[in-house]
Structure 1
Amino acid sequence: MRKFAPLLIILGLAAILFFWYIGIKNGAVRENQAVSKEWGNVETAYQRRNDLIGNLVKTVKGAADFEKSTLEAVINARAKATSTTIDPSNITPEQLQQFQQAQGGLNSALSRLLVTVEKYPDLKANQNFLKLQDELASTENQILTARTRFNEAVQQYNNYILIFPNSMFLGNYKEKPYFESEKGAEKPVDVEFDFGTNEKAATE
């Protein structure tokens, strides 16, 4: 039995190393899936905003003589933002920047539309329009929360694959970029439509 002891020890160590390696690999898979899940939440939040903007455009179209160019800018920016997609399992800084630029373009077009809307006080009587005001503000907060959680998942993933000795076995796992907001993007879109206040100030 003694002559097999060295072999048994070697096999035991090999088994320990094998299961340790498998554990590291499985851990990387879990962390990667967590990033994908949080990115899905980011996309869901943005999709909700895109849907609300679509409804907003339909509502504003009902206003007589509303600026066509302003609506078209929002429609085009929304189409571009919707068509810009990312595979979270293979996300790159360039892809994330492109996504942010598309969303930023939509954000700018929406801001211009909301400023223009104030020239049309008849919209204040549209209950659907007023409801969209609250839903847009709520959605901006959801987007902020989703982006924050995505970054937290990316941080945990990056830490996992980059620390030693995990990095020795996870060379095929690449570091993922963080979601970096554009300058001024930390502020939600201004969606206040206080027409009553404006009219009151004008008559005083």
Structure 2
Amino acid sequence: MLYLILSVGLLLIIGLFMVTVFNRFVKNKNTVQDAWSNIDVALKRRYDLIPNLVETVKGYAAHERSTLEDVIKARNAAMSVPSEDINAQIKAENQLQQTLRSIFALGEAYPDLKANTNFIQLQEKLNEIEENLERSRRYYNGTVRENNTYGESFPGVLFAGMLNYKHFDFFEAEAESRENIKVDFS
């Protein structure tokens, strides 16, 4: 009888431990997805702004067609990634960020464009969106760090496969987006 009570007690303790680990995985995943939804809102605002920015630049730098087409392609590619695939979305956003930087490099090359009030307003609005994205990105990366650390450390690592642990990528600027863009009009 004592062995039965001890066995049931041990099974109960293991069961409670498993429930606690499972709940932590669920909490971490939901926190990461909530943090990503904040980024997603800012990204949608940026997507809406890009066509206006491209149209404004088009009037001043018509022969820069390939740059403008690259921006639209990158925007469309980023918009077409399913919102559930956060890791793929991050890669697409880094590509879009790179192409957006090339538009602002055009602004430096064309003084009339740089002085255009519409371009200035769009640039200011995009800067505001980028600041919001930066704050959201920091929060997201913090939640990803917590999720990934728990899933890769003890006791989470013991149950990660069994409980469908999901590893998330950090949302960081890629190495090439940290370099200055060189514009050559020779």
Would you call these one fold, judging by a TM-score over 0.5? yes
Partner of 2:165: 173
Alignment counterpart, residue 51 of structure 2, candidates 54, 74, 79: 54
Larger Rg: 1
Percent identical across equivalent pairs? 31
Contact 2:94-2:173 at 8 Å conserved across structures: no
**Match of residue 106 from structure 1:** 96
Task: Tell me the number of residue pairs that the alignment of Structure 1 and Structure 2 aligns.
Answer: 177
Which of 182, 189, 201 aligns to 2:174? It is: 182
Partner of 1:148: 138
3-state SS in 1 of match to 2:154: coil
> Distance in 2 between the 1:12 and 1:178 partners?
41
CA distance in 2, matches of 1:151, 1:121: 39
Counterpart CA distance in 1 for 2:168 and 2:61 is 47
1:106/1:5 Cα in 2 relative to 1: closer, same or farther (>3 Å)? closer
Aligned in 2, Cα 1:106/1:13: closer, same or farther, shift over 3 Å? Answer: closer
Q: Following the alignment from structure 2 to structure 1, what is the Cα–Cα distance between the partners of residues 101 and 171?
A: 22
1:201 alignment counterpart: none
Shift of 1:29: 0.7
Structural mapping, 1:65-76, within 5 Å: 66-67=62-63, 69=65, 70-76=67-73
* 1:33 alignment partner in structure 2: 30
Alpha carbons 2:113, 2:119 under 8 Å: kept? no
1:35 to partner: Cα distance: 1.3
* Unpaired runs of at least 5, structure 2: 182-186
AA matched with 1:183:
A
Tell me which amino acid in the other structure corresponds to 2:68: L
Task: Check whether the contact 1:38–1:149 (CA below 8 A) recurs between aligned residues.
Answer: yes
What is the TM-score with the length of structure 1 in the denominator?
A: 0.69
Q: CA deviation at 1:125?
A: 5.2
Q: Find 1:116's aligned residue among 94, 97, 106.
A: 106
Structure 1 residues 13 and 115, CA, compared in 2 at 3 Å: closer, same or farther?
Answer: closer
* Closer, same or farther: CA 163–53 of 1 in aligned 2, 3 Å: same
Q: Which moved more, 1:177-186 or 1:38-47?
A: 177-186
Indicate if the aligned counterparts of 2:60 and 2:113 stay in contact, CA closer than 8 A. Answer: no
